[in-house]
């Protein structure tokens, strides 16, 4: 996990104040070793909302004359499961995901949904 934190700081210039949040964000529900009372579905909801907001803000500024319907289509394309999975793999984030043994054996790192 330390190498991911270093990568996020050095390659992307992110300021990370609490490394535990990164670990939680990259923990799959199958990872039973993580014994914290965390509701991953609630975190997923929040994370999806943040991504939605950031992409919406980017598109709003990038296309100042675009109609709402077109902005929505562009946003839907960008935040699609397929595109986010591609981006995560390109950034090599899949190697940092904490998976349970069964999910690991089931090639979970290659799945778009994870």
Mean pLDDT per 10-residue section of the chain, whose length is 114 residues: 81 85 83 69 89 97 98 97 88 84 82 74
- For residue 98, what are the β-bridge partners? 27
pTM of the model: 0.74
Range of the domain at 69: 2-110
Cβ neighbourhood burial of 50 (10 Å; 0-12, 13-18, 19+): exposed
For the chain, how many structural domains are there in total?
A: 1
Cα–Cα distance between 72 and 103 in angstroms, integer? 34
CATH of the domain at 88: 1.10.1520.10
CA–CA separation, 103 vs 109, rounded Å? 8
């Amino acid at each position: 996990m330390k190498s991911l934190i270093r990568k996020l700081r050095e390659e992307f210039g992110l300021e990370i104040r609490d490394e535990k949040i990164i670990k939680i964000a990259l923990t799959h529900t199958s990872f039973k070793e993580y014994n914290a009372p965390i509701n991953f579905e609630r975190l997923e909801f929040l994370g999806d909302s943040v991504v939605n907001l950031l992409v919406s803000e980017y598109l709003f500024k990038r296309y100042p004359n675009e109609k709402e319907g077109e902005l929505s289509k562009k946003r839907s394309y960008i935040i699609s499961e397929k595109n986010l999975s591609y981006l995560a793999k390109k950034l090599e984030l899949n190697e940092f995901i904490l998976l349970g043994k069964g999910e690991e054996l089931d090639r979970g790192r290659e799945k778009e949904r994870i």
